[in-house]
Amino acid sequence: MKRIDLLPPEQRVKASRERGLLWAILILVAIVVALGMVYMWQKGKVSDKQAELDGLTAQVAAEQQKVAALAPYAVIQTTRTAMTATAKGIYDSRVPWSTILQEISLVIPDNVRLQSLTGTVPATMLPGSAVPAAPGAAATIDITFSGMTYTHKDVAEFMTRLGLIPQLSNVQLASSAGAAATGTTGTTGTPTVTFTVTASLRPYLTPPPATVIGGVAQ
């Protein structure tokens, strides 16, 4: 059976307009609901990220507290490392008198008799020295040998052998007096030639380190 619309034309237009407005409202509501859902989803993500950030901030703060608590130990370790390096430098730059004396005992000729041996360390070779070695400065007299032998040739041989010792340099004859013994150059008889020989300690390749105690170089 065919449906017949009995509404007046103006009512039909009004009804059509109302249906269009209803659909528009429904679409608008759907859009608002969709935007609300997106907003809530994004807000949840922001909350998660904020919670993660807060957790990381708390961890950083905790680690910073640990670092602050360990700071004194870091200073101690730094001081210990510096002191160890200084001690090693001082040890490496020491004058090895025991080694020098041992080497002298190995090179001294049998017919030479030492009466005295004096040695000093120059100021430029002392740890923490305030007197740096000037380039081209005159060699200092650091070791003095005094003794007796039979001939002046024996003195020359003794000086030549001293020049073989790595720690010594600038071996010089200060004096040599007396008559050479006749008939022998060995170890028999009475030595008649007295001599004095000087030498310098070989400078370090690098200056000795300074030791600092209480802010004052020692």
pLDDT in tens, 23-79: 888 888 888 888 888 888 888 888 888 888 888 988 888 888 888 888 888 888 888
pTM > 0.75: yes or no:
no
What is the domain partition of the chain in residue ranges?
A: 8-92, 97-201
- Inter-residue contact 193 to 179 (CB < 8 Å): yes
Q: How far is CA 55 from the centre of its chain?
A: 38
CA R_g for the chain: 49
The DSSP H or E segment spanning 49 is: helix 9-92
Helix axes 152-162, 97-107, angle to 10 degrees: 140
Residue with tokens 């009475």: 190
Residue-wise pLDDT for 156-197, tens only, equals 999 999 999 988 999 999 999 987 666 554 555 677 899 999
Tokens of 195: 């001599």
**Domain 97-201 sits in CATH 2.60.40:** no
Helix segments in 93-141, DSSP class H: 97-107
